[in-house]
Amino acid sequence: MTVTPALTNRFLQGAEAKGLVDVAVTTMDSPIGTLLLMATPKGLVRIAFEDENRDEVLGEVAMQLSPRILEAPRRLDPVRRELDRYFAGKLQDFEVPLDWALVGDFARKVLRRTARIPYGSVASYGEVALEVGTPRGARAVGNALGSNPIPVVVPCHRVVRTGGAIGGYGGGLPRKRWLLALEGG
């Protein structure tokens, strides 16, 4: 039997209809490199940069969420559209639903606060620490941001060192600089 695009599409539709796809995955090209996008029925759960090991990312998600991961680009179309608009400078606030399943309690608190930093603005690690109730927790905030499974959409690039120094970024400093320049920050 020859596997045609039509057959593949029917298979994907059937798997989706029967609830057999716990995690949909696809890739997209962007100005900061190819992004691996992953979503559960609850929402976007993971964005990985091209220099992250794809097999390791898929393995971690399989172990933490479900091994039922399938290439299903259609489910991620809304995410791709919003990211395309963001990278074109036409979107400031993401509206796609997020699934926080890969994030622990403290990191979730940090990332939810980070998600409220306005487009074009920055906050310091210390400010975020203070706002999440751990005034001496700037380093812990940095660690939580460094493990952000949904970068760009949850804008950890908007957190900098006190005094304005750029600080670190899980996706690398060139990407952080590019994102901040895009936003005019």
Catalytic residues: 156
Task: Determine the Cα–Cα distance for residues 27 and 35; give it in Å rounded to an integer.
Answer: 5
Tell me the torsion sign for CA atoms 103, 47, 136, 184.
negative
Q: Helix or strand or coil: residue 106?
A: helix
8 A C-beta contact, residue 133 and residue 155: no
Q: Across the strands, what pairs with 39?
A: 24, 44
Q: How many CB atoms lie within 10 A of CB 65?
A: 18
8 A C-beta contact, residue 117 and residue 111: no
Pairing of strands 123-124, 159-160: parallel
Task: Determine the Cα–Cα distance for residues 67 and 64; give it in Å rounded to an integer.
Answer: 9
